[in-house]
A and B are shown apart, each in its own frame.
Chain A
Amino acid sequence: MTAGITPDAEVIGERGEHLYFALRNPKVVIGLTVVTALLLLGVFGPFFVSADPNEYIGPKSTAPSGEYWLGTTYFGQDVFAQFVHGLRSSYVVGGLGGGIAFVIGLSVGFTAGYRGGIVDELLNMLTNVVLVLPALAVLIVISSYLEVRGVIAQGIIIGLFSWPWVARAVRAQSLTLRNRDYVDLARLTGKRAPQIILKEIMPNMASYLLMTVILLFGGAILFAAMLDFIGLGPTDAVSLGTMMQQSMAWSSLHLGLWWWFVPPGMAITAIVGSLYITNVGLDEVFNPKLREM
């Protein structure tokens, strides 16, 4: 028997309980607030600025002012307009790349862990191979061959190379869950593998999977920013990474146009950092041991 005293589950349902603690955990609240605020800015901001963020609208190289909140670029483009469009791209890439990586990682991990045997050996080998490959370098080579690059394509190729972490973790988890009583019971009652995985194993990993999605999302945003910065960003859109690339390309460092390169990097740091902090908070919510008394 473990510590044995578990009155919590009786008082409120488990799910309700998690929500209850999540909404009272400062890390979760602060993290989600920042992420949501920037998301809203990225979703709705573009409607309030010019549709083309690359349009030359004003005086060149002016510092932030009431008219141009984040100043203008060397060419007289509105940095704020680029910023909100860039935010939107970042969220799209993060969601798409993270989502694809999650789905692949989940399928590979569950199949390997649940099937075992030769299937496991092969999938595990594949996972380890992709894990060892230096992802950014591979992404750079692939992207450089694409003549037309879009945000969607970028999200997809990032997703294709960032799933191994998930697969490894999910495999390990489902290996331990596989032998639990309730899974045996489900198997005895003739449920089929996908059903067992969806109905019996997944719910027991839900908290863990949620945290994985968050990390993948942040990881994909960082990846995209690096690709964009090397000049392999979307050819048809503005992103936070291309903003930094452009500002470097037109020597904003030497010209002192700090408003051009500070906001995009700060936004990425804020998004990814807040996601990490949210994750730490969620960990405390899901593991009562970590909750502060």
Chain B
Amino acid sequence: MALRVEDLRVHYRTMRGDVRALDGVSFELEDGEIMGLAGESGCGKTTLGKSLIRLDERMRHVGGTAVLDALELPIGDDRAMNRRRYTDVSIIPQYSMSALNPTRKIGKLTADLLRAKGRSYRQLRPELVRRLELVGLSEKVLDNYPIELSGGMKQRVVMVLSTLLDPSLLIADEVTSALDVSNQKAVAETLVRFRDLGFVKSMIVVTHDLSLVYQIADTIMIMYAGQVVEKAPAETIVGSPRHPYTQALIGALPEVGLEYGDKRLKSIPGRPPQLLNPPSGCRFRERCPLADRRCAEDPPVVRIADDHVASCWKVTN
């Protein structure tokens, strides 16, 4: 088991009180697993990604644990967390295009970073060059400033740099959203290749693009309003989802190979509840076609199969 997250609670502090961005999130990630993490904007998927590597100033760790490789991640303790960052947990940020210091050559930047982490740039350089070549970049980029590279090249540099120390867990946060379609595919395939080559053990791919993550992910986890609603193998989520929210989300996707005219795209009516004082019970019930009185109580986590869980009153094994 690479990662076990239990009842994780992370709040955003605002002037009006705490926003419960993560409200009791539990899941497991196997060694070698690539998990897609999807949901609407504001469902907490980015917060979850950040919580596992670095909380920003406004986030507060309220409760719950995350254990990586049998060692608990000190989520709330920025200093202690520094020791686990990069070596154990790493991230490919959403903003790869601007993630590199614009006034430092890429080789120098890498050297600075490695030295700060107590590693030797000279020793790691051959491996760095090998990996750059693997993603189609020449050694010369180390002598370039970021501005001399195209967007796609910068993205690949960041991917190589982030995984250079072979972390156990890699968080890829909306890595494809800024790219065009052909680059999206290449990036997605590179992520799989990095896993296959053992550069990273397991991976959480945060995305709003279900159809893309379906192509590379082993499992998909769906979040809604700060909670996990369903997690299952990718085919199961797309082929036979059980939670009404997942079903609605899949229903909203254009099906590959189908004309738009054949099947109307259904958007989900209504909007997610606000998380300042979330309602008790199932959070989707206001928008759920199946909701009844029982849904006012917190739904149970139903284990449909070994690798398939959903939180809903209407789901039975």
Contacts and interface: CB of A to CB of B under 8 A. Distances in A.
B41 A4 contact: yes
Contact of A4 (B13, B42, B58): B42
A11 B208 CA distance: 26
Contacts of A21: 15
Interface in B4-53: 12-16, 19, 21, 41-47
B147 interface: no
Contacts, number: 43
A5 B13 contact: no
- Taking chain A's interface residues, is the majority helix, strand, or loop, or is none over half, making it mixed? loop
A11 B274 CA distance: 9
A41 B268 CA distance: 60
**Which 8 interchain pairs have the tightest Cβ spacing?**
A4-B42, A7-B274, A1-B41, A5-B19, A7-B276, A4-B41, A5-B12, A5-B21
Contacts of B19: 5, 7
B275 interface: yes
Given A10-B274, A293-B58, A4 B16 contact: no
Given A1-B174, A4-B42, A291 B275 contact: no
Interface of B: 12-16, 19, 21, 41-47, 56, 58, 174, 208, 274-276
Interface of A: 1-8, 10-11, 21, 291, 293
Nearest to B226: A5
Given A1-B208, A293-B58, A7 B16 contact: yes
Contacts of B14: 7-8
24 contacts: A1-B41, A1-B42, A1-B45, A1-B46, A1-B208, A3-B12, A3-B46, A4-B21, A4-B41, A4-B42, A4-B47, A5-B12, A5-B19, A5-B21, A5-B42, A5-B47, A5-B275, A7-B14, A7-B274, A8-B14, A10-B274, A21-B15, A291-B15, A293-B58
- Residue of A1, A10, A293 with highest tally of chain B CB at under 10 A: A1
A2 B41 CA distance: 8
Given A1-B46, A1-B174, A7 B275 contact: yes
A9 to B, nearest CB: 10
A8 to B, nearest CB: 7
B22 to A, nearest CB: 10
Given A1-B41, A1-B208, A293-B58, A11 B16 contact: yes
- Residue of B13, B42, B43 with highest tally of chain A CB at under 10 A: B42
A6 B44 CA distance: 12
A162 to B, nearest CB: 32
A4 B208 CA distance: 12
Contacts of A5: 12, 19, 21, 42, 47, 275
Contacts of B12: 3, 5
A186 to B, nearest CB: 24
Contacts of A4: 21, 41-44, 46-47
A293 B59 CA distance: 11
Contacts of B46: 1-4
Contacts of A1: 41-42, 45-46, 174, 208
Contacts of A6: 42
Contacts of A7: 14, 16, 19, 274-276
B93 to A, nearest CB: 12
A7 B208 CA distance: 20
B222 to A, nearest CB: 15
B280 to A, nearest CB: 18
A4 B46 CA distance: 8
Nearest to A24: B15
B217 to A, nearest CB: 18
A10 B46 CA distance: 21
A5 B44 CA distance: 8
A266 B107 CA distance: 54
A6 B174 CA distance: 19
Contacts of A3: 12, 46-47, 56, 58
A6 B21 CA distance: 10
